Structures are given as C-alpha cells and as structure tokens.
Amino acid sequence: MEKRGVPTVTVVTSPFEEQFKATVKEQGVTDMACVVVPHPIGGLNFQGIQQKAQASFPDVLKALQDWQPQENRS
C-alpha cells in the first residue's frame, strides 16, 4: 500500500520492532509509520486487547495524519 502512495501504520509489539524494520528495508521501502505497543497481545482476553488498542489509538491516529517518509520531512 505504501508503495502505491496509500498511508498505512503498522502496529507491532515491542519484541518485533527490529523485525519490522528489517522487513521494511528488505522490501525496498525507505521508511514506514509504525506504532509499537507493549508485548504480549497473544493470550490476552478481549478486555486486555481492547485496553491496548485504546491506549495506542492516539499514536495510530497521529501517525496516519502527520507521518511523512524521512525524505519528505523538513
């Protein structure tokens, strides 16, 4: 989607941040918006996941509205 000019935000948990960066680089994408949330997600009940989603939503919204690739930043 990013290669087609559609803004996206990838959400990863903390242990997967470096893997995200490596994958982005491997795919030839210079830079992508990412929000890192505390680990774990797996094994949480609905309320636990909902709490993490609500806590991260402001960061996701900000990234969708404000983020620009590094080459476009002033």
Render pLDDT for 5-61 as a digit per residue (tens, 0 to 9): 778 899 999 999 999 999 988 988 777 899 999 999 889 999 999 999 999 999 999
Count of domains forming the chain: 1
The answer as to whether 26 is a domain residue is yes
The answer as to whether 71 is a domain residue is no
Tokens 């997967």 label which residue?
16
pLDDT on residue 71: 64
Sign of CA dihedral 5, 9, 12, 14: positive
Angle (CA) 57 62 68, round 5°:
135
pLDDT on residue 29: 79
The answer as to whether 43 is a domain residue is yes
Give the CA distances from residue 59 to residues 1, 10, 27, 28, 45, in Å, rounded to whole numbers and listed in that order. Answer: 20, 11, 24, 25, 22
* Structural domain span for residue 46: 8-52
